[in-house]
Amino acid sequence: MRLQFILSEIGIGLRRNLSMTVAVILVTFISLTFVGAAGLLQIQVGKLKDDWYGKVEVSVFLCPAGSPNVQCADGEATPEQIDAIWALLDSPELAPEIQKPYFETKEEAFRSFQEYFEGQDWAQAITVDDMQASFRIKLKDPERYEIVADVLSGRPGVESVEDQRKIFDSLFLVLNRASVMTVGLAALMLVAATLLITVTIRLSALSRSRETGIMRLVGASNLFIQLPFMLEGAIAAGIGALLAGGGLWLGVKYLVTDWLAGQVDWVPLVGQSDVLLIAPLLLAIAVVLALVASVVTLRRYMKV
């Protein structure tokens, strides 16, 4: 009886304020689409990091002959110095961090250089002695680059330590800024959504003041009087969230899975499963926001 009664009250309220209900649905839909897009962007960044950082290495460049660098004033790195670095890589300090060290000699560096720039005239002028030997070190956790850099830089025979991750930094910076902007827009839209929910509930309460007046008079509990209004806001916002989830799902399917994945096959991309991960969060945001907005509104505008 109670449930049926509350449900019918909600139905009446939603239909009576149809245009406001539609406005709430649309605004929450758009704002949560932004929130979801920001979330997907972050998931994408995470996927790229996982994939690319796994492939990148730390390069320890050894002193070549005739380097102008102060580190290399003693000339080319000697076999003893190279052995000392091998020993360091095996030391208990570094060994746990390292997955696989690999030593590239001058000759190997020269060969891959020639292969890479094959056919270019200027490349012919480079000789083996222009190249430098290096250690290529794959880390277990690419984020812990600093430890390796600290131990190895400044050692005799080491010219510089470089982290290939730096190459991606600017790309990630752009992606992160894009998500910040998206979240900012989403926040603004969510404010609009909250205000709209507030107004909708006020209107709804006003148009049913006769009913609620009688309910108060005959001793209906406050929760019983207010629940239909709170649920009204929550349902409208919830529909908006479902639409946002559906929109993101379609967007990812048509833009990413069906199209982008065909064009760009060398990076992992977000998929529909990631949308399924985000959609419940969007729904939770919408419902919580609507409930908070309605509780505040009802406290202010509905006398107990």
**Residues making contact with other proteins (CB under 8 A):** 1-2, 5, 210-211, 213-222, 224-225, 304
Give least dist CB 303 to other proteins, A: 8
Q: 208: which residues sit within 8 A by CB, 6+ positions away?
A: 12, 13, 16
DSSP state of 212: H
Give least dist CB 16 to other proteins, A: 11
Closer residue to other proteins, CB minimum distance, 5 or 254: 5
Give least dist CB 220 to other proteins, A: 4
Closer residue to other proteins, CB minimum distance, 181 or 214: 214
| Residue closest to 156 by CA, chosen among 58, 60, 59, 57 | 60
Q: 303: which residues sit within 8 A by CB, 6+ positions away?
A: 216
Closer residue to other proteins, CB minimum distance, 120 or 221: 221
| Amino acid of residue 122 | W
Dihedral Cα 79, 85, 87, 91, nearest 10 deg: 180
300 token code pair? 């202010």
Closer residue to other proteins, CB minimum distance, 203 or 227: 227
Give least dist CB 229 to other proteins, A: 14
Give least dist CB 232 to other proteins, A: 17
Name beta bridge partners: 103.
135
Give least dist CB 299 to other proteins, A: 11
* Count of positions (residues) in the chain: 304
| Amino acid of residue 236 | A
Closer residue to other proteins, CB minimum distance, 1 or 73: 1
224 token code pair? 């019983």
Give least dist CB 1 to other proteins, A: 5
| Residue closest to 29 by CA, chosen among 291, 204, 228, 248 | 248
Torsion sign over Cα 196, 197, 200, 201:
negative
Q: Are the CB atoms for 131 and 64 separated by under 8 Å?
A: yes
Rounded Cα distance, 256 and 272, in Å: 9
Closer residue to other proteins, CB minimum distance, 220 or 281: 220
Q: 214: which residues sit within 8 A by CB, 6+ positions away?
A: none
Closer residue to other proteins, CB minimum distance, 100 or 299: 299
Closer residue to other proteins, CB minimum distance, 2 or 55: 2
Residue the block writes with tokens 């961090």: 97
CA 250 to chain centre: 19
Give least dist CB 297 to other proteins, A: 18
